[in-house]
Amino acid sequence: MKKHFLLFFITSITLIISEGCYYDKESILYPENACDTLSQSFSNDIFPIINNQCVSCHSGTTPSGGFLLNSHSTIKVQVTNGKLIGSIKHISGYSSMPQNSPKLSDCRIEKIQAWINQGTLNN
């Protein structure tokens, strides 16, 4: 009887321990939040990106490259001529921005592109 109990106990412990020993994919367990580009607001979504990534060089009396990016109207000029999206997407023929820094995340670029597609509203 003692042998059966001991065998049952060891088998049970082994099963419990082995049940916890498997490998999960982190991307399945903890998926990244989807990039919400449904409706972009200039003041809530777009300007904070540009303010954090671009304004330090593209503002003031002598903005880098002569491009001001400190207001909706000055940003819209660069959207209209294609330079903003060409630069942040690192498209050939445009100066890659932000300069000397990593490229903006795909989500940030998608948000800016969605805002442009939605008519570059000042909202």
3-state secondary structure string, 71-97?
A: CHHHHHHHHHCCHHHHHHCCCCCCCCC
Residue 44 pLDDT > 90: yes
Q: The tokens of 113 are what? A: 């592109």
This prediction's pTM: 0.72
**What is the model's pLDDT at position 3?**
72
Instruction: Report the chain's mean pLDDT, rounded to a whole number.
Output: 88
Give 14's pLDDT tier (boundaries 50, 70, 90): confident
Rounded CA-CA distance 49/13 in Å is 53
Percent of the chain surpassing pLDDT 90: 68
Residue 21 pLDDT > 60: no
Kindly state the DSSP code that residue 42 receives in the 8-state scheme.
I
> CB of 96 within 8 A of CB of 25?
no
Rg, Å, the chain Cα set? 26
Region 64-83: what's the mean pLDDT?
Answer: 96
**What is the model's pLDDT at position 22?**
59
Q: The tokens of 94 are what? A: 């445009």
Rounded CA-CA distance 78/61 in Å is 17
